[in-house]
Structures are given as C-alpha cells and as structure tokens.
Amino acid sequence: MFPFRTETFCNSPIHQPMSSAPGRRRSLNQPLEARVKAVTSNKKNKVMNVPARDYDGHQPNEPLTILIVDDDPIFLKTLRQYLRGKNRRLLAAQGGKQALKLALEERPEMVISNRRLPDMDGIRLCKALRRTGPTEHTYIIILSGSESDDDLVRVFKAGVNDYLIKPLSLKVLAARIRNGERLLRYCQTVSRDREIIEQYAAQLSTANSQLQLMAMTDPLTGLPNRRNAMRRMKDAITEATRFQENLACIMLDIDHFKAINDTYGHDAGDMVLRDVAKIFSGNVRGYDMVNRIGGEEFLIICRRSGLDEARQLAERLRQAVARHESLTPSGQIIRCTISCGIATWQRHYRDDSELLKSADHALYQAKQSGRNRVEVAAG
C-alpha cells in the first residue's frame, strides 16, 4: 500500500519549465541585461573582459537534479516515474548515509527525503547537508507521517525548506517541487548576476586605478607629475611638522634645453629628458621623491634632510648629468648640464607654496650666475 492519496494522474510530465512565468523571469533579468548591452560596444559583445555569454548562456530550463531518499524501493520507483521529465535528473538512495555520499558527489539542487530512515533519519541528513559547503544551500523537502507540531518545529529547526505529511498527494508534491524550483532558479539568477557584477566591479576598479596612476604620472619619464608632486609635498610638510624633522627640496632645470630641441629635434629632446630622469632616480636615496613638474624642470623632495644633505645630493646629480652622454639614433652625442636651487622648510612658512617659491628663486639665481651650478635659498 503506497503512501499516496487516491487521485487521477495526468500522462504528461508534471514539470513545467521556468518559461511558464516569462514575465517574472524577464523582469528579474532585464535591468542587468540592459546595462550589459549599454556598455557593450565591440563585436565580441563583452562587458570589460567578461563575455556576455556568461550571463546570456544561462537557461532557466537547465536540468534540475533531484535526490529522492526512502528505504522503500517501490516508493522510490513510483516517485521517480511520476517526477521524471526532460528537465530533471533524478537520483535515488535507500538510506541516509548513501544519500549523503551521493549528495556530496552529485551536488543535487533538491533533496526529497523520508523523515524516518534506517541508518540516518531525515533530520540528521538535513543537518549534515547544511554543514557541508557544496550542499549547504540544497532545497530539502521532508516527508513524514507525523502531524505533531513539535516534530514539525524540529524539522524546520534542522534547516528543512518544506514539509509534507503522508499519505501524499503527488499533485501537491509536484506543486511544492515547482515552488522550490522557482526559488532555486531565482537564487541561481541572483548568484550569476552577482558574479558578473563582481567581475565587472573588479575590472572597473582596476581600470580606475590605472586611470588614477596615469593622471598622476608623467607619461614621458614615468615620474610623478606636477599634480602628484604637489600632493607629495603637502604630505612631506605635514610629516616634517608633526615629527619635527628636517625637510628640503631641490628645483632642477636642464640648461639650454630649447637649443637641444632646436638643434637635434624634439625626439632627441625627449630622449634627453628620459636619460636625465633615469640619472635622478638612480642617484637619490630611498626616501627622496623625484618628480617632473613641467617641461625640462624637475623637483626632488628630500625628506628628513637638512641643507647639507640636500646640497650634497644636488651636487652629485649635477655632476652625474654633466658626465652623461645621450646618443641619438643617428649617432650624434648630446651633452647637457643642469642648474639646481635648494630650499629648506622653515617654521615661519605658511604652506608648501612658500617653500617652492624659495627653491625656484634659488634656481633662478643659479641660472643668472652662469648655469651648471647649485644655489641655496636664503633662510
């Protein structure tokens, strides 16, 4: 005697694909799809580097894997025959331990289990599935002959999603399965949407970081640009003031740079700028900050440095540039020199502009005094 209520079964498969509710499905998906299409412009139809098929390829009628657990082989056979359909993959187990092993191997989306099993009852099986990562979100339906409220509370406390009392109405069971399937499909949609959004957000974050780096970097030399230099200078002044440390800066300018451009061409001038930038970067200390602030002018922020340390550094850089020879593609040798102006942070300065103005004035004095030299601003 099967635990079913007497009723007439229809011959057609009871499973209805999710397309039976297309309006709801489209309403859930449409906002993301619209955004995907809006930002997609190339022929490969990608969002950043995320192929659109990762989202559009998801079909609501993908096979639903259902694991049926009962110690009655005739009940298993009958239920499998009734539930089978083209969009279902049915598995069967005759005990809780076998069901747990099969669930870990096959990872079914839904488990329909009898409450009482010989080796592991339905509640223990449910708890075991909930404790295991791959099956913690499995939709679980428990079948029981008990109508006790306490038993019902225990079952739901264990993490069961639905509960049916025997004898069963197969139509009711089929309706509960469809309801569970709608929930599963919705969760899958949300999960897929979240994955794509996370990928898009990660790539957007990377792109923003790259754009920020580009906005703060001189493209020719790879050094921090003027905007970055001003930010670094403010930070250095804040640190020096807070910890009562020395701070100096050096303004450096390539002598007669216009003549280099006029004589050898702008490509050669760019090569000289890159060479000088490399010399600066290779000869400063680890805590010095080299910046290109425009044209042939550079700024070095010398943290934890007094006048003597800054003067030694500027002289070392001046000599290194004077010794260097830049070779053009045509074999011409270009030599150049630099002029340097040094200023140190004074307590009576109001902000970074006064420090920079002092260094710029010292640089002007170096230019007026014959170039290829180092001058220091008055205190």
Which sequence positions are flagged as catalytic?
A: 296
- Residue 161: which residues within 8 A CB-CB, separation 6 or more? 139, 140, 141, 180, 183
Asked if 310 and 255 count as a contact pair (C-beta separation under 8 A), the reply is no
| Maximum separation of any 2 CA atoms in the chain, in Å | 113
The number of beta carbons lying within 10 Å of the beta carbon of residue 97 is 15
Question: How far is it, in rounded angstroms, from Cα 338 to Cα 292?
Answer: 14
Question: How far is it, in rounded angstroms, from Cα 299 to Cα 290?
Answer: 6
Kindly report the length of the chain. Answer: 379
First to last CA, the chain: 105
Asked if 290 and 302 count as a contact pair (C-beta separation under 8 A), the reply is no
CA nearest to 334, candidates 277, 276, 374? 276
CA nearest to 189, candidates 77, 93, 60, 308? 60
Question: How far is it, in rounded angstroms, from Cα 62 to Cα 244?
Answer: 68
Asked if 49 and 203 count as a contact pair (C-beta separation under 8 A), the reply is yes
| Residue 261, Cβ density class (10 Å: 0-12 exposed, 13-18 middle, ≥19 buried) | middle
